[in-house]
Amino acid sequence: MKAVAGEAFDSWPPEQRGREITVYIFQNHTAYNGGGPMMGYCPGNEHNFWLGPEFERQAYFWAKFVQEAERLLSAADIQSRGVAAGDLKLGRYASLRNEAFIFEPATGLYIYPPNKSGWNAVGHGSPVHLPLKGRLEMAWRQGRLRLRCATCSKRRH
32-50 as b/e: b if 16+ CB within 10 A: beeebeeeeeeeeeeeeeb
Check residue 60 and give its pLDDT. 85
Check residue 118 and give its pLDDT. 83
Strand partners, 3: 19
Check residue 19 and give its pLDDT. 63
Under 8 Å between Cβ of 118 and 136:
no
Under 8 Å between Cβ of 139 and 145:
yes
Strand partners, 150: none
Which residues of the chain are under the pLDDT cut of 70?
Answer: 1-6, 8-9, 12-19, 130-131, 134-135, 137-157
Q: Provide φ and ψ at 44, rounded to 5°.
A: 85, -15
For the chain, report the end-to-end CA distance as a whole number of angstroms: 55
Write the burial class of residue 123 (CB in 10 Å: 0-12 exposed, 13-18 middle, 19+ buried): middle
Check residue 107 and give its pLDDT. 93
